[in-house]
Amino acid sequence: MTLARDIPRHVHHRADECIYVLAGVLVVEFDDRSLPVGAGGFVLLPLGVPHALQCGSDPAPRVLQVSTPGGWECYLEDLFEAGGSVLTDGTLDPVKINPIAARYDLHYAEPRP
């Protein structure tokens, strides 16, 4: 898939996430660090580790993403079905995503008031 939008900080409570970068640069934020991962690079994000994903190149990075156990594809289907309703000013909005994400034991960090 192509990372068309930055993915805000979130945590998976059910699945480990593995990302292999096929092309471009993906920036992975975790533990208050930013790690640029280029083509051929691999990242393992164990469940319970808060992280964010950002586009680090133009064109946007292409990645192969695997979550285990399965079910991630159902979350993505629900997210795509929600369409623009999960965006604010063209950016993924954690407040709007969390009701969908909660069904898949995912949680996006929401801005503090």
Taking the CA of residue 50 as centre, how many other CA atoms within 13 Å lie in the half-sphere pointing to its CB?
A: 10
pLDDT of amino acid 35? 96
Longest Cα–Cα distance in the chain: 40
Look up tokens 């929401």; give the residue.
110
pLDDT band at 1 (very low <50, low <70, confident <90, very high): confident
With 0-12 / 13-18 / 19 or more C-beta atoms within 10 angstroms meaning exposed / middle / buried, residue 86 is buried
How far does CA 26 lie from the centroid of its chain? 11
Instruction: Convert the pLDDT of each residue in 45-62 to its tens digit.
Output: 999 999 999 999 999 999
Between CA 17 and CA 72 the distance in angstroms is 10
The answer, yes or no, to whether residue 113 has pLDDT greater than 80, is no
Instruction: Convert the pLDDT of each residue in 22-36 to its tens digit.
Output: 999 999 999 889 999
Average pLDDT score over residue span 10-16: 94
The answer, yes or no, to whether residue 112 has pLDDT greater than 80, is no
Tokens of 40: 């051929």
Q: Shortest CA distance to 63 belongs to which of 90, 92, 36, 42?
A: 42
pLDDT of amino acid 9? 93
CATH architecture of 7-108: Sandwich (2.60)
pTM for the structure as a whole: 0.87
Between CA 34 and CA 13 the distance in angstroms is 22
